[in-house]
Amino acid sequence: MGKKEREQLGLLTIAEIARESGVAKSTVRYYTEVGLLDVAGTFSPKNYRLYNREEVIARIQQIRKIQLQNRTLSDIRGEVRFA
C-alpha cells in the first residue's frame, strides 16, 4: 500500500502521527503499548503500524489535556473515550 493510498484511507504511520500531533514517535509507541491508542492495521514490507488519523490525533489531544492537569496514565485510561 503506497502513501497516497494510505492517505486516501486516512491511515498514517507512527512518524506521520507524531509529526501531525507534535509528540515524539516513542510517545506514540508507548501510548499504543499501554492501550491508549489503537492500531488500525499494518502494511508490508516492514509491517509499519497504521493509525486512523482523525481518531488517533483526537485521542492524543485528549491525553495531553489530561496530562496538563497532572493526572496519571491510569486516570487517562479511564477518561479517554475510545470509539
CA angle at 30 for the pair 27 and 34, rounded to the nearest 5°: 140
Q: What is the pLDDT of residue 82?
A: 53
Q: What is the pLDDT of residues 21-79, one digit of tens each?
A: 999 999 999 999 988 999 988 876 678 889 999 999 999 998 888 888 888 877 777 76
Would the pTM of this model clear 0.75, i.e. be above it?
A: yes
Query: pLDDT at residue 15 above 90?
Result: yes
Q: Which helix (H) or strand (E) holds 77?
A: helix 73-79
Give the count of domains, the chain: 1
Q: What is the pLDDT of residue 4?
A: 86
The CATH number covering residue 14 comes to 1.10.1660.10
Q: What is the pLDDT of residue 30?
A: 93
